[in-house]
Amino acid sequence: MKIVGYFEGTDSNLLTKIVASGFCTLPLANEWDGHGKNASHIEPGDVDLIIGHLHKLLPPLRECEDERAKTSPMGVDIQRGFRPIDLLYPAKAYSIPVLVVVPKDYQKAGKSLLGEAADFLTIVTPEELEKKVREILDF
Protein backbone atom coordinates (compact mmCIF):
# COMPACT_ATOMS: atom_id res chain seq x y z
CA MET A 1 0.00 0.00 0.00
CA LYS A 2 1.38 3.41 -0.97
CA ILE A 3 1.85 6.07 1.70
CA VAL A 4 1.60 9.82 1.13
CA GLY A 5 3.66 11.99 3.45
CA TYR A 6 2.21 15.46 3.90
CA PHE A 7 3.13 18.63 5.69
CA GLU A 8 0.65 20.51 7.85
CA GLY A 9 -1.66 22.67 5.78
CA THR A 10 -2.14 20.14 2.96
CA ASP A 11 -5.74 20.19 1.74
CA SER A 12 -7.73 17.91 4.06
CA ASN A 13 -10.26 17.15 1.32
CA LEU A 14 -7.45 15.87 -0.89
CA LEU A 15 -6.04 13.78 1.95
CA THR A 16 -9.51 12.31 2.52
CA LYS A 17 -9.77 11.39 -1.18
CA ILE A 18 -6.34 9.76 -0.99
CA VAL A 19 -7.33 7.64 2.02
CA ALA A 20 -10.75 6.76 0.55
CA SER A 21 -8.93 5.59 -2.59
CA GLY A 22 -6.98 3.00 -0.61
CA PHE A 23 -3.77 4.83 0.26
CA CYS A 24 -2.32 5.76 3.65
CA THR A 25 -1.16 9.16 4.84
CA LEU A 26 1.61 10.15 7.22
CA PRO A 27 2.04 13.64 8.68
CA LEU A 28 5.53 15.05 8.14
CA ALA A 29 7.39 17.70 10.12
CA ASN A 30 10.15 20.13 9.37
CA GLU A 31 12.96 20.86 11.83
CA TRP A 32 11.15 23.72 13.58
CA ASP A 33 7.46 22.92 14.03
CA GLY A 34 7.36 19.19 14.82
CA HIS A 35 3.90 18.28 13.47
CA GLY A 36 4.72 14.70 12.42
CA LYS A 37 7.60 12.44 11.40
CA ASN A 38 10.63 14.57 10.66
CA ALA A 39 11.00 14.64 6.86
CA SER A 40 14.79 14.65 7.09
CA HIS A 41 14.60 11.25 8.86
CA ILE A 42 12.58 9.42 6.20
CA GLU A 43 13.94 6.01 5.25
CA PRO A 44 13.24 3.85 2.19
CA GLY A 45 9.66 2.60 2.21
CA ASP A 46 8.36 5.20 4.68
CA VAL A 47 6.51 7.22 2.02
CA ASP A 48 5.91 7.05 -1.72
CA LEU A 49 5.03 10.72 -2.26
CA ILE A 50 5.55 13.95 -0.31
CA ILE A 51 3.21 16.94 -0.47
CA GLY A 52 3.76 20.33 1.13
CA HIS A 53 3.41 24.06 0.74
CA LEU A 54 6.50 26.17 0.13
CA HIS A 55 6.50 27.84 3.54
CA LYS A 56 6.79 24.46 5.32
CA LEU A 57 10.13 23.84 3.60
CA LEU A 58 11.72 27.14 4.55
CA PRO A 59 13.17 27.65 8.05
CA PRO A 60 12.23 30.62 10.21
CA LEU A 61 14.61 33.50 9.70
CA ARG A 62 17.30 34.45 12.18
CA GLU A 63 20.95 35.41 12.06
CA CYS A 64 23.21 32.57 11.03
CA GLU A 65 26.94 32.21 11.68
CA ASP A 66 27.49 29.29 9.30
CA GLU A 67 29.70 30.55 6.44
CA ARG A 68 28.43 27.86 4.04
CA ALA A 69 24.83 28.97 4.60
CA LYS A 70 25.66 32.55 3.66
CA THR A 71 25.97 31.49 0.03
CA SER A 72 22.52 29.89 -0.05
CA PRO A 73 19.67 31.53 -2.00
CA MET A 74 18.11 32.57 1.31
CA GLY A 75 21.20 34.53 2.35
CA VAL A 76 22.61 34.89 5.85
CA ASP A 77 19.31 34.78 7.71
CA ILE A 78 18.53 31.08 7.83
CA GLN A 79 18.16 28.91 10.87
CA ARG A 80 21.34 27.05 11.81
CA GLY A 81 22.41 26.84 8.18
CA PHE A 82 19.40 24.62 7.48
CA ARG A 83 18.16 24.59 3.88
CA PRO A 84 15.26 22.95 2.01
CA ILE A 85 17.72 20.41 0.54
CA ASP A 86 18.60 19.33 4.09
CA LEU A 87 14.97 18.65 4.91
CA LEU A 88 14.24 16.88 1.63
CA TYR A 89 17.52 15.07 1.10
CA PRO A 90 16.02 11.62 1.85
CA ALA A 91 13.42 12.25 -0.87
CA LYS A 92 16.23 12.94 -3.32
CA ALA A 93 18.32 9.99 -2.16
CA TYR A 94 15.42 7.51 -2.33
CA SER A 95 13.75 8.98 -5.45
CA ILE A 96 10.54 9.93 -3.64
CA PRO A 97 8.45 12.38 -5.67
CA VAL A 98 7.87 15.72 -3.93
CA LEU A 99 5.06 18.13 -4.84
CA VAL A 100 5.46 21.66 -3.53
CA VAL A 101 2.38 23.86 -3.67
CA VAL A 102 3.05 27.44 -4.81
CA PRO A 103 0.58 29.84 -6.46
CA LYS A 104 1.43 30.44 -10.13
CA ASP A 105 2.50 34.07 -9.68
CA TYR A 106 5.06 33.06 -7.03
CA GLN A 107 6.58 29.97 -8.60
CA LYS A 108 9.72 31.69 -9.90
CA ALA A 109 10.44 33.14 -6.45
CA GLY A 110 9.58 29.80 -4.84
CA LYS A 111 12.00 27.94 -7.06
CA SER A 112 14.74 30.37 -6.11
CA LEU A 113 14.03 29.95 -2.39
CA LEU A 114 14.14 26.17 -2.69
CA GLY A 115 17.71 26.31 -4.01
CA GLU A 116 19.18 22.87 -4.83
CA ALA A 117 15.98 21.12 -3.80
CA ALA A 118 14.20 22.68 -6.79
CA ASP A 119 16.24 20.39 -9.05
CA PHE A 120 14.38 17.21 -8.00
CA LEU A 121 10.93 18.31 -6.84
CA THR A 122 7.85 19.46 -8.73
CA ILE A 123 6.25 22.82 -8.08
CA VAL A 124 2.48 22.80 -8.63
CA THR A 125 -0.32 25.31 -8.23
CA PRO A 126 -3.05 24.54 -5.70
CA GLU A 127 -5.37 23.86 -8.64
CA GLU A 128 -2.96 21.32 -10.19
CA LEU A 129 -2.19 19.43 -6.99
CA GLU A 130 -4.94 16.79 -7.08
CA LYS A 131 -4.30 15.98 -10.74
CA LYS A 132 -0.56 15.49 -10.08
CA VAL A 133 -1.24 13.33 -7.02
CA ARG A 134 -3.61 11.14 -9.06
CA GLU A 135 -0.96 10.78 -11.81
CA ILE A 136 1.76 9.76 -9.36
CA LEU A 137 -0.41 7.35 -7.35
CA ASP A 138 -2.31 6.16 -10.44
CA PHE A 139 -5.88 6.53 -9.19
For residue range 55-94, list pLDDT tens digits in order.
999 987 655 555 555 455 544 444 455 789 999 999 999 9
pLDDT of residue 73: 52
pLDDT of residue 117: 97
For the chain, the domains span 3-58+84-137
Burial of 35 (0-12, 13-18, 19+ CB in 10 A): middle
pLDDT of residue 76: 41
pLDDT of residue 62: 56
pLDDT of residue 35: 80
- Distance in angstroms (rounded) separating the CA atoms of residues 118 and 116: 5
pLDDT of residue 59: 81
pLDDT of residue 82: 77
- Distance in angstroms (rounded) separating the CA atoms of residues 81 and 102: 23
The one-letter code for the residue type at 52 is G
Question: Do 108 and 58 form a contact (C-beta atoms < 8 A)?
Answer: no
Topology (CATH level 3) of domain 3-58+84-137: Rossmann fold (3.40.50)
pLDDT of residue 137: 97
Distances (CA, A) of 63 to 5, 57, 69, 86, 94: 30, 18, 11, 18, 32
Residues in the chain, total = 139
Residues of the chain falling short of pLDDT 50: 70, 74-79
pTM over cut 0.95:
no
pLDDT of residue 48: 98
